[in-house]
Amino acid sequence: PSPRSSQPNGASEEALRCEIEELKQKDLALDQEIAQLLSEGYSLEELDKHISLLHEYNEIKDAGQMLLGKLAVIRGVTTKQLYPEYDLELSD
């Protein structure tokens, strides 16, 4: 059973109301951010493309981190020790 199913019905409903309110606030904040970007001259297509490129970047970065981790295991070192060898910054 889920943790919510063990709560009294009123507590579960209140938690859902809070979650809904938080999501509404996030939605409003995102709408405001989009409006700001549009007012700065960005187009929705440009924003969609940028988001798509960020997703692609993150997928590539994750794959690189995975490979770096496997190489570290093979060599018996930490991934941090491999960063200088490949001219990587710790913030990368």
Q: What is the pTM of this model?
A: 0.55
User: Which parts of the chain register pLDDT below 70?
Assistant: 1-10, 92
Question: Which pLDDT score is estimated for 22?
Answer: 96
Question: Which pLDDT score is estimated for 8?
Answer: 59
Round to whole Å and give the CA distance between 66 and 61. Answer: 9
CB under 8 Å to 1, separation ≥6 — which residues?
A: none
Q: Which whole-number Å values give the CA distances from 53 to 19, 38, 57, 63, in the listed order?
A: 30, 19, 6, 15
